[in-house]
Structure 1
Amino acid sequence: MPVLLPPAEPSQDTRVGAPAWREAAHAKSRKAHLLTDRCGQEAVTMWQPKDSVRDPHVAHHLCRAAYIQPWRFRVEMLKGGGTVEKPPPGEGVTLWKGKMKPPAWYARLPLPLHRDARAMQTAEVVHAHARGARLTAARLGRAQHQINAQLQLLQRQREATDLRLSEVRKGLLINKQSVKLRGYRPKSEKIPDKADSMLTWEKEELRVMKRKMEKDMEKSETLLKALASCRDTLGFYCKERLQAVELMNQPLDKVLEQAGRHSWLDLSRPPTPRPQGLKTPPPDPMGTFTPECAAALYEAKRLLMESKDTLAEMAKNETDIQKQQLQISDRVCASLAQKMRETLELKERINMTLGLMRGTIHRCTKFNQEMYVTRGLIKGPLSKSYLATREKLNRPLVLMHQKHVGTQLPEATRLAQGTDKLQRHITHVEKNLNELLTTRDNLAWSLNCKKIGHDVDYNVVRLRLRQRHPHVYYEQAQRLVNDWDPLTPQRSESSSAPK
């Protein structure tokens, strides 16, 4: 029998299911939807950069427009009144067709080609390190080349300075030879004169030059050692850097040209139309340009500047000393030549005086001989057989005259007085003749001394001109001043060898 249901009350909800059942189904659906949205958003977020994550406070349909808005081109006004569209600044690929510039995309999860990407990144790091090592090696090699060139210039200058120092020392030996040779003059010619003063002055000046050149040699030796040490240090660091790039076949000079630099010391860079090259990077203890390399390059730069000044100073000192030494030697030779001319004048005058005195001596000697003959004639003959009648005092007339008192004849008295007067005159003439002979001997000795002095000065000048020639070395001058004695001629080896 059919069951009759009570009539239902009129209601707006026509659904049959229970509300609890329906709420449970809606809750499950919302839970699944939220899970789906969260998982999908998290999955996409892990593949997108952080700034692309949707803002939860912005509506879903407005998120894309707000995210893409910074990508749009910007319209800027020009001074003429026009407009121009420019892409936004920053990294990224500019899409001119879409008037957009999306930023660079960085994923936060490793991509499928993560291993290859990391290998490429590692290769880039290795290549960058190799390029840095190669560039640093090029800098160090160029600096070593410049240091080596400066080292060679300094060695050549040291050779020239040492040669000039040898010339100065040889000048001192020549001065010693001159003084020693002038010491063999006669005593009358050893009176101090201006030539002796010039020799003393030359000695002092040459000593000052010698000390100056020795200081230059010591300074250059210290600089030479520093340059050699810096060159070795640069070579060690360059060889150490080249171990990382020994498989790269690009020349180091090409690396510097690519970097726009010709000299990392910036001392001898030639003018080129290239723009200014890269600056020296800061030292990095973990990179290729370490503080040790920076210190070595700085030391090389300092030594190059110092050696450049030292070379200029040494070259100037060498030229000045060469000119000064030549001028001093010429002045000494000129003073000796002047002394020779004065000696020649005195020789001529003494020679003329000696010639006049020689004629006087001859005349006095002849007159003295005639006085002796006259004295003999006054004294009378030596034998009775030579007596004449007028010579006898016992003649009759004389005997007759002498018988008278007070009648003494003056013949004998006058003869005695004349003989005595003649003898005194002869004695005086002999005294004068002796004085003339003594004076003549003194003049002859003085003339001989003047001749020896002139010859000594001439030999000194000739010796100085010969010894200062560049072909005469210091050892030859030293052997001459040590072994040679002007008064003792040298013996040849053949004569001194035992037979």
Structure 2
Amino acid sequence: MPVLIPPIEQSQSSRVGAREWREEAQAKMLEAQQLTDRCGQEAVAMWQPKDSVWDPNVARHLCKAAYIQPWRFHVQLLQDGGTLETPPPGEGVTLWKSKMKPPAWHARLPLPLNRDARALQTVDLVQAHVRGARLTAARLGRAQQQINGQLQLLQRQRQATDHRLSEVRKGLLINQQSVKLRGYRPESEKIPDKADSMLTLEREKLKSMKRKMEEDMEKSEVMLKALASCRDTLAFCCKERLQAVDLMNKPLDKVLELAGRHSWVDLSRIPTPSTQGLKTPPSDPVGAYTPECAAALNDAKRLLMESKDALQEMAKNEEDIREQQLEISDGVCSSLAQKMRETTELKERMNMTVGLMRGTIHRCTKFNQEMYITRGLIKGPLSKTHLETREKLDRPLVRVYQRHVGTQLPEAARLTQGTDKLQRHISHVEKNLEDLHTTHRNLTRSLNCKRIGHEVDYNVVRLRLRQRHPHVNYQQAQCLVNDWDPRTPPKTGTRPQTQQPKGDSKAAK
């Protein structure tokens, strides 16, 4: 700065120029001096921080010392008499040698390399955004793959559950067929037994199984829709993020490997000890990891855990129901087999009884015929020519005239008494024969009913074993159910026909 020489004071009397003329010149010089100082300060202030401008209230030779004073270290006295020097707080580079810490310098005027610096910063910002978008796209893609895999597992389990549900429904049809087929038994064989109670118990259990499987199917359908919606959301978000990384040729799996995470949804996996995975960054509305992506990943994580639990529960229910259905079906078949064995035992005993009664009837009939022959012999001759005395005879009693000497003898009275006793014995034997024939007919009828009951139970067991085969589907089992009343069985000599398609009947012909 130029140093102005102070003017030499002259007396008022020695001055020649006018006062106004001199004051005008001095005002111009003062204005020029102020303008010079202001322009110099402004020119320097453009290269200095805002707080480094000199304070007009401080003397100029003291401005530098007052500006540097906050940079110096703070000295503290300790109790032992020593001193402790600490740098002032705030940003900046600490100069330990000169015991100073200038603040960070921020220029208000663009530097010559400002454009290149801004371009480099913009490139770094774009690269960081693209890296974040690529990493987010990789996370979304991996989450989409896991959701797809879970969808496939859920669909397979739904198929298995639907197959088991059809088996349960087929079991209900088999139970209905068994009840209707047992309605063909005679009235004497329709007394309620344990087989009927087992069939009723089987129907109730199958109904409860059916309700449980239907609930599982409804829950799995809701879970399937939620997983499909989450997959579509993940695909949409991933497609949006991939628009920023189309020109960067790098596999997304490699991005996850560099990030140290093989999965961003399945957190149950134990991470590799040699690689420490990155934590999930906070969501940023203007960044690559937006709140929509965070919400989609959180939903995927939640649905993945819920679907795993649902899959385990469905698989467990399907296995338990399969075992219960097989157990109750085997129980019904075993009870019917036991009933068949008991019926066979009763048939054998009744058959032996019928045989013994048949022999007794034959012997009684033979004895009765012999009694008839004996009675004929006791009655005497059948013609008058058989008598030498030419007596007049009438059956069944012999009339003897008083002129005959034989009327006074006791043999005629005894003969009459014996004939009456023989007649009473013959009447008693005939009554016994009638009772034997009636009982034999009843026993034969009961034996025939036992045979029909045994055949019906055998057909029921055979039907159940054939219908529960895996190759027999629900539609084939449904075709065997006819609308008929078991209380009115078909006529004798006819058998229940099953509904067959027209093509099968033609083929059979």
TM-score (normalised: structure 1): 0.80
- Say yes or no: does 1:472 pair with 2:472: yes
CA separation of 1:222/1:414 partners in 2, compared to 1, >3 Å: closer, same or farther? same
Give runs of aligned pairs for residues 12-411 of structure 1, distance below 5 A.
35-56=35-56, 64=64, 67=67, 102-265=102-265, 267-273=267-273, 274-275=275-276, 277-284=278-285, 286-384=286-384, 387=386, 403=403, 408-411=408-411
In 2, distance between residues paired with 1:478 and 1:373?
68
In 2, distance between residues paired with 1:328 and 1:400?
87
CA separation of 1:400/1:58 partners in 2, compared to 1, >3 Å: closer, same or farther? closer
Indicate the residue corresponding to 1:4 in structure 2.
Answer: none
In 1, distance between residues paired with 2:132 and 2:186?
83
In 2, distance between residues paired with 1:65 and 1:22?
38
CA apart distance, 1:164: 0.9
Of stretches 220-229 and 292-301 in structure 1, the one that deviates more from structure 2 is 292-301
CA separation of 1:315/1:85 partners in 2, compared to 1, >3 Å: closer, same or farther? farther
The residue identity in structure 1 corresponding to 2:207 is R
The residue identity in structure 2 corresponding to 1:428 is H
Q: Deviations over 1:247-288 (max 9, x none)?
A: 12233344445545444446444333355633341341x443
CA separation of 1:59/1:180 partners in 2, compared to 1, >3 Å: closer, same or farther? same
CA separation of 1:177/1:361 partners in 2, compared to 1, >3 Å: closer, same or farther? same
Indicate the residue corresponding to 1:444 in structure 2.
Answer: 444
Indicate if the aligned counterparts of 2:178 and 2:464 stay in contact, CA closer than 8 A: yes
Of stretches 197-206 and 38-47 in structure 1, the one that deviates more from structure 2 is 38-47
3-state SS, counterpart of residue 304 of structure 1: helix
In 2, distance between residues paired with 1:345 and 1:174?
28
CA apart distance, 1:155: 0.8
Indicate if the aligned counterparts of 1:402 and 1:409 stay in contact, CA closer than 8 A: no
In 1, distance between residues paired with 2:351 and 2:76?
117
CA apart distance, 1:199: 0.9
Q: Deviations over 1:87-135 (max 9, x none)?
A: 7776556678777665443221222233333333332333333233223
CA apart distance, 1:351: 2.0
CA apart distance, 1:354: 1.6
Indicate the residue corresponding to 1:487 in structure 2.
Answer: 495
CA apart distance, 1:23: 10
3-state SS, counterpart of residue 408 of structure 2: coil
3-state SS, counterpart of residue 481 of structure 1: coil
In 2, distance between residues paired with 1:177 and 1:241?
61
In 2, distance between residues paired with 1:260 and 1:198?
61
CA apart distance, 1:184: 1.5
In 2, distance between residues paired with 1:276 and 1:349?
83
CA separation of 1:424/1:407 partners in 2, compared to 1, >3 Å: closer, same or farther? closer
Of stretches 470-479 and 260-269 in structure 1, the one that deviates more from structure 2 is 260-269
- When the two chains are superposed, the root-mean-square deviation of aligned CA atoms in Å is 4.2
Alignment length (residue pairs): 481
CA separation of 1:71/1:429 partners in 2, compared to 1, >3 Å: closer, same or farther? farther
The residue identity in structure 2 corresponding to 1:487 is R
3-state SS, counterpart of residue 144 of structure 1: helix
3-state SS, counterpart of residue 301 of structure 1: helix
3-state SS, counterpart of residue 185 of structure 1: coil
Of stretches 432-441 and 33-42 in structure 1, the one that deviates more from structure 2 is 33-42
Indicate the residue corresponding to 1:454 in structure 2.
Answer: 454
CA separation of 1:84/1:236 partners in 2, compared to 1, >3 Å: closer, same or farther? farther
Of stretches 449-458 and 21-30 in structure 1, the one that deviates more from structure 2 is 21-30
Instruction: Give the fraction of aligned pairs with identical amino acids, expressed as a percent.
Output: 75
In 1, distance between residues paired with 2:9 and 2:91?
61
TM-score (normalised: structure 2): 0.79
Q: Specify every segment of 5 or more residues in structure 2 that has no aligned partner in the other structure, as ranges.
A: 1-7, 393-398, 485-489
In 1, distance between residues paired with 2:250 and 2:74?
45
Q: Deviations over 1:150-199 (max 9, x none)?
A: 21121111111101101101111111121122112122111222211221
- Say yes or no: does 1:431 pair with 2:431: yes
Of stretches 415-424 and 99-108 in structure 1, the one that deviates more from structure 2 is 99-108
Q: Deviations over 1:441-462 (max 9, x none)?
A: 2212211211221222122223
Indicate the residue corresponding to 1:8 in structure 2.
Answer: none
The residue identity in structure 2 corresponding to 1:436 is L
3-state SS, counterpart of residue 365 of structure 1: helix
CA apart distance, 1:362: 2.0
Indicate if the aligned counterparts of 1:283 and 1:294 stay in contact, CA closer than 8 A: no
In 1, distance between residues paired with 2:216 and 2:75?
73
Indicate if the aligned counterparts of 2:384 and 2:391 stay in contact, CA closer than 8 A: no
The residue identity in structure 2 corresponding to 1:134 is R
CA separation of 1:109/1:228 partners in 2, compared to 1, >3 Å: closer, same or farther? same
The residue identity in structure 2 corresponding to 1:299 is D
